[in-house]
Amino acid sequence: MAQVQELKAEAREGRGKGPSYQARIKGLIPGIVYGGKGEPETVNVDARTLERHIEKGAFLTTLLMLDVAGKKTRVIPRQLQLDPVSDRPVHVDFMRLAEGATVRLEVPVHFKGQGESPGLKKGGVLNIVRHKMELLCPADSIPNEVLVDISKLDINESIHISALNLPEGVKPTIRGRDFTVCSIVAPTSVVEEQRAAAAAAGAPAAEAAPAEGAAPAAGAAPAAGAKAAPAAAPAKK
């Protein structure tokens, strides 16, 4: 489960491009805190501290205790804006999470058991249908990942969402459909061989004799015993 990590911030006066630009010059990242019963608050976060949290991975599913001048609020990052050139953070949004709150978020899907999978041992290929999964999670039960065990999966077999044991209270947002998470498919060479065999099996049917009464190809002699078609009557003048 996601652990609550502390992040210090300071209140930021004003909104808009001007105050945000001034914050970045000082090595701070502007942000906003919203949600719950309180009004939105503008804050600044130390850029290097924020980058260290991001480098740990799964930043957007990490619970944070935001400390603004001694006032602590449990939040979760909801959006992180990056500079298109430097790929460094330029703005961050935090959402307050009260006790008993439920949050919708995307959790990465990871896989284990590749070394034991009979399908992979035979040369099959792991086909990942869901790299991420959108889940409804209680704030106290946010998983860092969805771990899928494929150690018993053979070629042409699949794992569906119903086969996974999600944490208590955690549910997929897709309801009423047992969607596929992953499968093991035959290697391309095998698929091509199967297609070639199917094509060869259908070839005799395609080469069958023409139906009775069908006109022979131009220049072809009529079959033995076949009556020549009567010549067309000359057109009347």
**CA geometry: angle 123, 126, 128, nearest 5 deg:** 170
Span 114-158, pLDDT tens digits: 999 999 999 999 999 999 999 999 988 888 899 999 999 999 999
| pLDDT of 205 | 52
Amino acid in the structure at residue 207: E
pLDDT at site 204: 57
CA atoms of 155 and 187, how far apart (whole Å)? 9
Average predicted confidence (pLDDT) for the chain: 84
Residues 6+ apart with CB under 8 A from 90: 24, 29, 30, 81, 82, 83
- Phi first, then psi: give them for residue 217, nearest 5 degrees: -65, 155
Instruction: Enumerate residues 6+ apart whose C-beta is below 8 A from 205.
Output: none
Per-residue pLDDT tens, the chain, 237 aa: give them. 556 889 999 999 878 788 888 999 999 999 999 998 889 999 999 999 999 999 988 898 889 999 998 999 999 999 999 999 999 999 999 999 988 889 999 999 999 999 999 999 999 999 999 999 999 999 888 888 999 999 999 999 999 999 999 999 999 999 999 999 999 999 865 556 666 667 777 665 555 545 444 444 444 444 444 444 444 445 444
* 173 neighbors 134 (Cβ within 8 angstroms): yes
| Cα distance between residue 101 and residue 119, in whole Å | 42
The span from the CA of 53 to the CA of 61, in Å, is 11
pLDDT tens digits for 203-212? 655 555 454 4
Angle at 155 between CA 152 and CA 159, to 5 degrees: 55
For 56-68, what is each residue's pLDDT tens digit?
888 988 899 999 9
148, 108 in Cβ contact below 8 A?
no
Residues in the chain: 237
